[in-house]
Amino acid sequence: MAESDNIIVETAEKIFADLADPQTINHDKKDAWKAPLWQALSDAGLPLSWVPEDCGGSGADLADGFALLNAAGRFAVAVPLAETMLAGWLLAQAKISSPGGEMTVLPASPRDKITLNADGSLSGRARGVPFGKAAKHFAVLANGNGGVSIALVDAGQARIEAGLNVGYDNSDIVTLDKAQPITIKPAPKGFDQTRLMLMGGVARSLQIAGALESMLDISVRYSNERVAFEKKISKFQAVQHNLARLAGESAAALAAATSAADAIANTAAFNDEVFLEATAAKIRCAEAAEKGGAIAHQVHGAIGFTNEHILHRYSLRALAWRDDFGSESHWAVELGKLVANRGADELWPLVASR
């Protein structure tokens, strides 16, 4: 509901403004800001927004959570909020209660698989896991024993090889070697890894769209402050043209991401129409992250590339989010397969289905 949307987003934005100011974070080399921010988010029940109350969560609907993720993108929040929300959502599909603390999901790529062994243990290797090192628990989607299962696994059961994405956030390799889950239950009928990847992809699309909104605001503000040849650079036609292009990329990303979020929030099944919306959003937002980030840095010139400036907090994270839960090239291929399999006569009905 609209009122609930406003309450959740307003609460989140107030927390982000108070505890996740990009300039303050940029100067904090010891990451002292992370614990207070996570505590405030947890106290507000935001990381478990998508978890029903009977499973230990806040019981917000999908639309509320998607709006929250877009707000998080506008602040380029570098804590596992989206990952914990997604993990809680995955566990809730099997009526598994979510524990407190940071979580993330396994696998985080369509190419990786986790296997459920005959003895009930889990094995597999997941690459590019966002905030894998920071997680206290993993929500795992596993295949085996004739079906798909969802499990809650203590992070101590995993071997983690730390890595960083281009935004300097953890993107780790997590290996399970006959790990014993805390809880494991069958996934609902029809639930598969594609559904998890699409949900993660839409979450990332909303974050990218939020980051682009902030990049546009920062660039417009800078162009109205920076003076060259005795006038503000916003008066130069080339700069105006670039800002218009950046506004276009931001608007396109937001439209694609919110349309996909609306499609998921208002359907009971991940059908071809939802697949089209979700994959198109990830592809378009990934493209916008590349083009929009380049334009923003071009407007700023050399200063935008320095560690002291906040622009890179947005541009680099937007670029990193492109590859999580399936890259744009992966989903472009999968979308092409869908269209080809349905045939030429079914293309327009599919596109016009919403």
Domain match, 29 and 67 both: yes
Q: Are residues 169 and 27 in the same domain?
A: yes
| CATH code (residue 103) | 1.10.540.10
Both 148 and 8 in a single domain? yes
pLDDT in tens, 62-115: 999 999 999 999 999 999 999 999 999 999 999 999 999 999 999 999 999 999
Domain termination residue (choose one: 151, 186, 221): 186
Number of domains within the chain: 2
- For residue 29, what pLDDT is reported? 82
pLDDT of amino acid 159: 98
Q: What is the pLDDT of residue 267?
A: 87
Q: What is the pLDDT of residue 340?
A: 94
Q: Are 330 and 275 contained in the same domain? A: yes
How far is Cα 257 from Cα 326, in angstroms, rounded to an integer? 15
Instruction: Please tell me whether residues 311 and 224 are part of one structural domain.
Output: yes
Which residue positions in the chain have pLDDT lower than 70?
Answer: 1-5, 354
pLDDT for the residue 27 = 87
Is residue 214 domain-shared with residue 93, that is, in the same domain? no
Task: Give the pLDDT confidence score for residue 4 in this predicted structure.
Answer: 44
Note whether 126 and 269 are same-domain residues: no
So what's the pLDDT on residue 230?
A: 85
Regarding whether 239 and 104 lie in a shared domain, the answer is no
Task: Give the residue from 186, 209, 226 where a domain finishes.
Answer: 186
CATH at residue 300: 1.20.140.10
**Predicted TM-score of the model (pTM):** 0.95
112 lies in the same domain as 197: no
Tell me: do 83 and 129 sit in the same domain.
yes
Residue 295 belongs to what domain range?
193-351
Does 146 share its domain with 17? yes
User: Of the residues 133, 162, 186, which one is the last residue of a structural domain?
Assistant: 186
| Residue showing tokens 């107030």 | 14
| Domain co-membership, 180 together with 242 | no
What confidence score (pLDDT) does residue 353 get? 76
Please report the pLDDT score of residue 30 as a whole number. 87
